Amino acid sequence: LSRVLRRRQKLPDVNTVDDAVRLLQNAKKIIVLSGAGISTSCGIPDFRSATGLYAQLQAEGKYELDDPQQMFDISYFREHPEVFYSFAKQIYPSNFVPSPCHRWIKLLEDRGVLLRNYTQNIDTLESLAGVNNVLQCHGSFKTASCLRCKTRHDGSKIEPYIMSQTIPYCETCREERNTEIAAIKAYRASLKGKGKGKASEWDDSDDDEEIDEWGRGEPGIIKPDITFFGQALDSEFDECLFKDREDVDLLVIMGTSLKVAPVSEVLSHIPHSVPQIFINLTPVTHVKPDVLLLGDADSIVTNLSDRLGWTIPPPPSVPHA
Ligand code: APR
């Protein structure tokens, strides 16, 4: 309560659009923390709303998940990669157009007052809107990595697998595996030639086919570089936050339930003296922003821009390829 009271002293009357306008007028280094709510108007469902992705997965029941979040859980993925790859095409960024919110973030950057956009979204619509200083806290489909050899591939490599709902295996692993198999076979042949006994642990099967089968079943699975539950965020998140917390003079939170750490903990890493504007369709009761603007985020940022005399740029001409 003391923290909230201390914060309240900065603004005589809180919770009004006028306060938000005044804060935006004076801010020079704004952090925008955004979530799925800024992409719903683009046709991309959020996660936890009644019509969100998790409700859809629960209702469909076709993936036999104990919990819809398992779709994005790394342990579950390792066990059942086929489930994610049968689903991924539904969330793969394609032909979406950035919302007024994405373009409002671009507007802040064009005005030279965006310190950074920390987005939890993986749709890369911020980049499509032209925002340069965006941190993809939960990654994106831009790249994909092998779970076994960690080789990082360009995201386009797995797009055909996502679209055909099949699992991409890592060729780098396969090549390494084939090299290992050739070496084992050469070693066995060399020992057989010398009439020696047990060649290796493979000696109990003289069937080279079995070794080939071993090689075929083994290569690493490639996973998009989106952060699953059970995976740590890229170190860039901590590095940026450590730096930005010293410079930020306004935090704008948009379209997020703030349910997933560590992004949800950004608010507690920002000095109490920095005012916070929260723009969301539904109240988020575990945080106490200085200004809470409830409603559709696109309409709110459009209204704020009108009051500020700012013009939100039009959508980019080409939708997401
Ligand atoms: N305008 C404003 N707010 C909206 C709108 C809208 N048009 N549409 C939805 N919202 C709000 C919802 O009311 C909800 O509070 O956006 C919030 C979205 O919350 P979530 O669905 O929980 O999405 P998000 O907060 O981004 O989830 C964080 O959870 O599953 C993980 O990795 C996933 O990045 C995701 C993370």
- Ligand 1 mutation target, pool 33, 277, 281, 293, most atoms within 8 A of CB: 281
Q: Is 138 a catalytic residue?
A: yes
Among protein residues, the one whose CA lies closest to atom 9 of ligand 1? 37
Helix (H) or strand (E) holding 212: helix 208-217
pLDDT at position 192: 72
- Classify 318 in phi/psi space as left (phi over 0), alpha (psi -120 to 50) or beta: beta
Among protein residues, the one whose CA lies closest to atom 4 of ligand 1? 37
Task: Tell me which residues of the chain have a pLDDT lower than 70.
Answer: 1-15, 193-218, 318-321
Q: How many CB atoms lie within 10 A of CB 112?
A: 8
What is this structure's pTM?
Answer: 0.86
pLDDT at position 186: 83
Q: How many angstroms is it from 116 CA to the middle of ligand 1?
A: 19
Residue 151 φ/ψ, nearest 5 degrees: -55, 130
pLDDT at position 12: 41
- Catalytic residue, from 138, 153, 272, 320: name it: 138
Nearest to 15 by CA among 288, 208, 267, 266: 288
pLDDT at position 42: 95
Among protein residues, the one whose CA lies closest to atom 18 of ligand 1? 256
Q: How many angstroms is it from 103 CA to the middle of ligand 1?
A: 18
pLDDT at position 198: 52
Question: Cα(240)–Cα(221) distance, rounded to whole angstroms?
Answer: 30
Nearest to 44 by CA among 31, 29, 34: 34
